[in-house]
């Protein structure tokens, strides 16, 4: 009978129990420490954050506001939600900027921290361009946005917009034409927005301008506003700049100008 002597040598020896137990508990201890370290790190971070955001050494001692004209500095400060003595890290810069933009007069806002205790607020206010008459009086900015109800504190020498309704809001062409007319009146020399008392919007016939002097109605229709206003200045210049006696002037057929005089002046033989 043949005996396989190598069988005993190839047999795997079982690791002693104590060694296996020691290795198991070592792994278990490492895992436990890792699990415990995560919440401990979170707690430590929270405590550190709370300490930094509440320390009096980072209290807001100065808030510098730039760009406030119509809105008072007090209103800007209240709108930002930032107060003196507040920790400079306790508020969100983006959140403060969003709060500021909810204020009617503020178009854009930038908030910056300057450590240890200064906050800089830079705002860009809306530029009022007209007073809109709808269900009350409202202010419109140069971008065509109606941003607040007009009050006695907002007393301004601005043209009044009439005829603005839902049809105007739905018509992109009317809106574009109106913004073009408003832009021309705001930027041109000679006859400009300061000489205008009212702009009337008609969805069919376009725009009419009422002069501040003598209340003459200038029908300018749609488009080519600069050319039409130059034509008006030419007609007014031929009369020495005197508009008295004129009721309306149709400038829609530029370079022609159809002038309609007040009937009372015609009957009395007034100077025309």
pLDDT tops 70 at residue 241: yes
Domain ranges across the chain: 56-125, 128-268
The answer to whether 162 and 183 have CB atoms below 8 angstroms apart is no
> Between 217 and 267, where is the model more confident?
217
First and final C-alpha spacing in the chain: 147
Give residue-wise pLDDT tens across range 113-148.
999 999 999 999 999 999 999 889 999 999 888 999
Between CA 118 and CA 81 the distance in angstroms is 15
> 90-111, pLDDT tens digit by residue?
899 999 999 999 999 999 999 9
Q: How many Å apart are CA 158 and CA 222, to the nearest integer?
A: 21
Q: What is the largest CA-CA distance in the chain?
A: 154
DSSP structure string for 32-61: HHHHHHHHHHHHHHHHHHHHHHH-GGGB--
Question: Looking at the domain covering 128-268, what would its CATH class be?
Answer: alpha beta
pLDDT value at residue 269: 46
Distance, CA of 265 to CA of 153 (rounded, Å):
40
Q: Where do we find the tokens 């699990």?
A: 35
CATH architecture of 56-125: Roll (3.10)
What is the pTM (predicted TM-score) of this model? Answer: 0.71
- Backbone φ and ψ of 83, nearest 5°: -125, 155
């Amino acid at each position: 009978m043949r005996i396989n002597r190598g069988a005993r040598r190839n047999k795997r020896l079982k690791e002693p129990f104590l060694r296996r137990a020691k290795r198991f508990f070592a792994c278990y201890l490492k895992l436990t420490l890792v699990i415990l370290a995560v919440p401990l790190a979170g707690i430590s971070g929270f405590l550190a954050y709370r300490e930094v955001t509440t320390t009096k050494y980072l209290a807001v001692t100065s808030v510098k506001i730039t760009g406030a004209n119509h809105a008072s500095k007090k209103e800007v400060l209240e709108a930002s939600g930032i107060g003196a003595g507040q920790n400079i890290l306790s508020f969100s810069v983006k959140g403060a900027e969003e709060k500021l933009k909810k204020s009617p007069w503020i178009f854009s806002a930038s908030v910056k921290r300057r450590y240890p205790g200064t906050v800089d607020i830079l705002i860009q206010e809306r530029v009022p361009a007209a007073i809109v008459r709808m269900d009350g009086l409202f202010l419109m900015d140069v971008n065509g946005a109606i941003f607040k109800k007009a009050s006695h504190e907002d007393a301004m020498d601005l043209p009044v917009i009439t005829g603005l309704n839902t049809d105007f809001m739905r018509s992109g062409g009317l809106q574009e034409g109106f913004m073009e007319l408003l832009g021309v009146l705001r930027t041109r020399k000679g006859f400009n927005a300061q000489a205008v008392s009212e702009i009337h919007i008609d969805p069919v016939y376009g725009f009419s301008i009422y002069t501040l002097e003598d209340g003459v109605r200038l029908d300018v229709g749609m488009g080519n506003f600069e050319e039409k206003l130059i034509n008006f200045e030419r007609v007014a210049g031929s009369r020495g700049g005197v508009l008295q006696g004129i009721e309306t002037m149709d400038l829609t057929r530029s370079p022609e100008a159809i002038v309609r005089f007040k009937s009372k002046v015609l009957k009395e033989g007034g100077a025309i």
